[in-house]
Structure 1
């Protein structure tokens, strides 16, 4: 078989799981611009072993999805328009709240 031959022979292959934003490549390939993103939220954790008992367990997970928007895409890419609008709105609202607070503070003096 020659170097970079388009032929490959596999007698048997078994893939149990591909996870964690992974990929499986076969043959002669050169993945370019491959990106992966993985998010793992776990409010409790994991338990292993025998004869485990959990009673009265309570767990809370807070996951603001807006933050996830910033983790997608490359650093050089521009923010999506909806994110820009949300940020502009929030900045404007914060400025108005701050101006109102300063105004009230001056009136009290």
Structure 2
């Protein structure tokens, strides 16, 4: 599965647009990590627990958009974008969205 932020795939032509696909996850860290993160804000620097959480969340969201595109019979997702939002205190949603397409080789 090709996933790209561009509107086209090099050396390929879009044969059919299959529709919008999404993948999302809402995730939070446990209270122990929040306490450590709060302490880290006093001295500054990267809050690794949250960096790891967001990296894991992005990967899961990409897995989910890939599955959604495969269900539609897509070869690729073009125009992929991420968005984030706070759903409730100490949790965040990561959503990825794009357009599922069928490709044909350029001749």
By relative contact order (CA 8 Å, sep 6+), the higher-ranking structure is: 2
Over alpha carbons, which structure has the higher Rg?
1
Higher strand share: 2
Structure-1-length-normalised TM-score:
0.29
